[in-house]
Structure 1
C-alpha cells in the first residue's frame, strides 16, 4: 500500500468524534479551555483568554499547511472539548506526527485521550498506510510523556533546546514513536483498556 497524506475526515468512537476543526468550534473550545493556564501550560501558543483569542488560535491551526487539525467532540454533550492534529505528514517516508493536543480539564484521566489516539492511530496505520507515527513533547511535561508511553510508544531521544516557549524560555523536545509492526499489539491493548472502562 502506498502511503497517503491525511485529509479532513470524521472519525467516530464510543466516547468522542474527531471532526475537521472549523471556526464554528470556537465557542465550545473557549468554554472548554479558554483562559485555563493549566490546560495550556505545555501547548506552545499563548493562552487564549478571550473568545477572539481562541478564534485566532483556531485560525492559526487552520492556516498551518503542515497541520490537519481535528476538534475533539464529546459524544455525550455534542460539544467540542479539545483539539488534536496530524502534523508534517510525509507519504514518501510513510510517517506522520500526532500533536497539538489539548483537552478540557474535565476530560483529563478519562477515555477521551485513549480513544482519540486510537482513532488517529487506526486511521494513520490502516487507512493512510503510515509506517511510523511519532510524538514530541516538552521535556518538563511528564503528564504528556506518561500518556504517550501508555499508548505503547517507544522513547527515541531528546532534542535539546529545540523550541521556544511563549514565555521566551527554551524547551527540550522528547520524541516517541510507534512503528507499523508494533501497531497490532498496541491496538489490542488500547481497545481492551477502553472496553474495561
Structure 2
C-alpha cells in the first residue's frame, strides 16, 4: 500500500484522514441518509458513530484514507480511500468515497479523482485502478463512466448492505494506457 500523503489541487486538498477532521466531516454529511445510502456502513447518527467508522478505515492496513478538505474554507467535507486489490498486480481501488450533499455535482469529485488517479498512475506507477459501486447507484455509475471508467462486470450478491439486503457490485477499471485520455477529460471538466 502507498504511504499516506497529501495531494493538492485548486479546489480540494486530500490529506490523511484524522480524527481531528470528525467535527467537520459530521457537519458535512453525518446523519444524512442520502449521503450514506450506498456506503458500506450505516448512516452515522452521531459524531461518535462517525468516529468508529473513520477509525476502522485509519487502522486498516489495506486502506489509505484521505479527508477531502475544501480549500476555500479549510474544512473537511468528505473522504475517499485507496484500497489494496488482492491478487491484482500493481492495482489499486478508489472507494469509500462520500462528500456532503452541498458538494455534489461540483468540481470536488472531478478534482479528487484527478488527484487520486494521478497519484496511482503517475507517482506510484500502477497498472490499473478499480472503481466499483452498488448496481442500484446509477448516479455513481454515470460519474465513473464520465471520467473514463470502463465497465468490467457485475458481481452478483457481492456483499451485504447495512440493511441486510444483498448488493450486486458493478466494477469499472481504468488502465495505465487509458489514463492520459481520462486525465485530459478530467482537466477539461475542471476548466468548464
Shorter-chain TM-score tier: over 0.9
Distance 1:136 1:62, change over 3 A: same
Question: Does residue 149 of structure 2 align to residue 166 of structure 1?
Answer: no
Q: Is the 1:18–1:70 Cα contact (8 Å) retained in structure 2? A: yes
- Could you tell me which runs of 5 or more consecutive residues in structure 1 were left unpaired when the two chains were aligned: none
Question: In 2, Cα distance between the equivalents of 1:9 and 1:90?
Answer: 22
Q: How many residues align?
A: 192
Question: Does residue 38 of structure 2 align to residue 29 of structure 1?
Answer: no
Paired residue for 1:131, among 127, 132, 142? 127
- Could you tell me which runs of 5 or more consecutive residues in structure 2 were left unpaired when the two chains were aligned: none
Question: In 2, Cα distance between the equivalents of 1:12 and 1:90?
Answer: 28
Question: In 1, Cα distance between the equivalents of 2:88 and 2:81?
Answer: 20
Paired residue for 2:142, among 146, 161, 165? 146
Paired residue for 1:121, among 117, 131, 149? 117
Paired residue for 2:48, among 27, 47, 52? 52
TM-score by length of 1: 0.95
TM-score by length of 2: 0.97
> Deviation per CA, 1:13-52, whole angstroms, max 9, x where unpaired?
0000000001111100000011000000000101111111
The CA RMSD over aligned residues, in Å, is: 1.2
Return structure 1 stretches of 4+ with deviation > 4 angstroms. Answer: 89-92
Paired residue for 1:78, among 63, 74, 78? 74
